[in-house]
């Protein structure tokens, strides 16, 4: 189905690039307006040893990454990173509703309910996105990783990835996602599991519908 506007609801700056990037790029390249609502500034989830004010660094990184992905509606909130699950879900959902209405979204995109690595912040953001979509009657597309990919990653890294069988496999280009990922210079270190994951995934992304579109 042709989507005119997609809103990604995520927990941390870089989720939109490291995770959802290729799928968002695909939707935007097909003509959709792209937006991202990020609930935290990622201070607790960041790598250590980064010089400078992480709040400002990660704002700048998200802004640049969004440009690479063609996202024109970007909102970065200041909820507690590492403890997003403690925030009232209704408050988080209300922000997603507001953002979706502002960009006239007809599709919400989130990380899989597994949290990909079971991260409670990811799960909280996804739950908020689902609640907002239910209020607005919008479909919800989740980015996930196939069990084959997660099995290989978990054999190579102590990462704790959770695999989920998707509903669809999309062919994607990684060009803009890689540019966006590199914009998060404080996180995208050469030794990051990110690069191995993208290598294993090739030109495929697995997605599943948490709320299916009405035909």
In a domain, 150, yes or no: yes
In this prediction, residue 48 carries a pLDDT of 59
> Are the C-beta atoms of residues 191 and 159 closer than 8 Å to each other?
no
In a domain, 92, yes or no: yes
In a domain, 203, yes or no: yes
Q: How many domains does the chain have?
A: 1
In this prediction, residue 44 carries a pLDDT of 66
In a domain, 59, yes or no: yes
In this prediction, residue 57 carries a pLDDT of 87
> Are the C-beta atoms of residues 169 and 205 closer than 8 Å to each other?
yes
In a domain, 161, yes or no: yes
In a domain, 74, yes or no: yes
Domain that holds residue 122: 5-209
Mean pLDDT score of the chain, rounded to an integer? 94
pLDDT tens for 9-28 read 999 999 999 999 999 999 99
pLDDT tens for 110-161 read 999 999 999 999 999 999 999 999 999 999 999 999 999 999 999 999 989 9
In a domain, 214, yes or no: no
Question: How many Cα atoms within 13 Å fall on the side-chain side of residue 194?
Answer: 21
CATH of the domain at 151: 3.40.50.10320
pLDDT tens for 175-197 read 999 999 999 988 888 889 999 99
In a domain, 42, yes or no: yes
pLDDT tens for 91-117 read 999 999 999 999 999 999 999 999 999
């Amino acid at each position: 189905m042709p989507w005119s506007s997609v809103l990604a609801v995520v927990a941390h700056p870089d989720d939109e690039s490291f995770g959802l990037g290729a799928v968002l790029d695909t939707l935007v390249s097909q003509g959709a307006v792209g937006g991202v609502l990020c609930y935290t500034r990622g201070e607790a989830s960041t790598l250590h040893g980064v010089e400078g004010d992480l709040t400002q660094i990660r704002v700048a990184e998200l802004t640049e990454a969004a440009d690479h992905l063609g996202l024109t509606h970007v909102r970065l909130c200041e909820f507690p990173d590492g403890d997003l699950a403690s925030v009232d879900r209704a408050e988080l959902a209300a922000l997603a509703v507001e953002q979706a209405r502002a960009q006239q979204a007809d599709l919400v995109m989130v990380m899989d309910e597994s949290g990909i690595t079971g991260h409670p912040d990811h799960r909280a953001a996804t739950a908020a996105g689902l609640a907002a979509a239910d209020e607005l009657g919008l479909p919800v597309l989740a980015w996930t990783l196939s069990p084959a990919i997660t099995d290989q990653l978990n054999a190579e890294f102590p990462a704790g990835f959770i695999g989920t069988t998707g509903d669809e496999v999309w062919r994607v280009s990684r060009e803009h996602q890689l540019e966006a990922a590199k914009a998060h210079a404080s996180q995208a270190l050469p030794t990051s599991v990110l690069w191995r994951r993208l290598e294993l995934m090739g030109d495929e992304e697995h997605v599943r519908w948490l709320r299916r579109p009405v035909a």
